Amino acid sequence: MLADSKSYPIDLTFDNGMVMLSSPDDKGRAVMPADIEGEVNKVRLDGKYLADALKACSGMVDLKLTDGKTPVLFQVDGYLLVTMPMLTNAEKPEAEPAPAEDTEPVAEAEAEPAPAEAKPKRKRKAKEPVAV
């Protein structure tokens, strides 16, 4: 089994009519046939979330993904389930660099609050019903 009850990353790689499920540390791997449309894609999912999604869908499932950084959609018989991928360190966005220590911060001008009588009064509109 690739994933047990604890959280564990699972890589799904789609290529040549096959989907390969593997652990990043090469402790397990499973390959199965799949109907694939589009380019070769790879995504990393939390093993617990993947197992829960497949159990909820029970059986054949349409799995739709754009790339390894966007949500994965599981779809079967009108049932939709979305799972967020796990990002690897190489995929995580870089933090903005800290400002250099030798630069002085720019002071912002403080605006004086307007007197209360100078503020224009707003008319409230009646709330309209909203269809949900």
> Residue 25 above 90 pLDDT?
no
Picking from 94, 60, 96, the residue whose alpha carbon sits closest to that of residue 75 is 60
At 1, the pLDDT band (50, 70, 90 cuts) reads: very low
Q: Quick check: helix, strand or coil at residue 52? A: helix
pLDDT at 22: 92
Q: E strands, 18-113, where?
A: 18-22, 29-33, 41-46, 62-64, 72-76, 79-83
Unique residue bearing structure tokens 């789609």: 14
* Ordered structural domains, the chain, with CATH: 9-83 (3.10.150.10)
Q: In whole numbers, what is the pLDDT of the chain averaged over residues?
A: 75
What confidence tens digit (pLDDT) does each residue in 30-74 have? 999 988 888 868 899 998 888 888 888 887 888 888 888 889 999
At 128, the pLDDT band (50, 70, 90 cuts) reads: low
Taking the alpha carbons at both ends of the chain, their separation in whole angstroms is: 44
At 3, the pLDDT band (50, 70, 90 cuts) reads: very low
Average pLDDT over residues 68-85: 89
More confident position, 83 or 90: 83
At 5, the pLDDT band (50, 70, 90 cuts) reads: very low
pLDDT at 114: 55
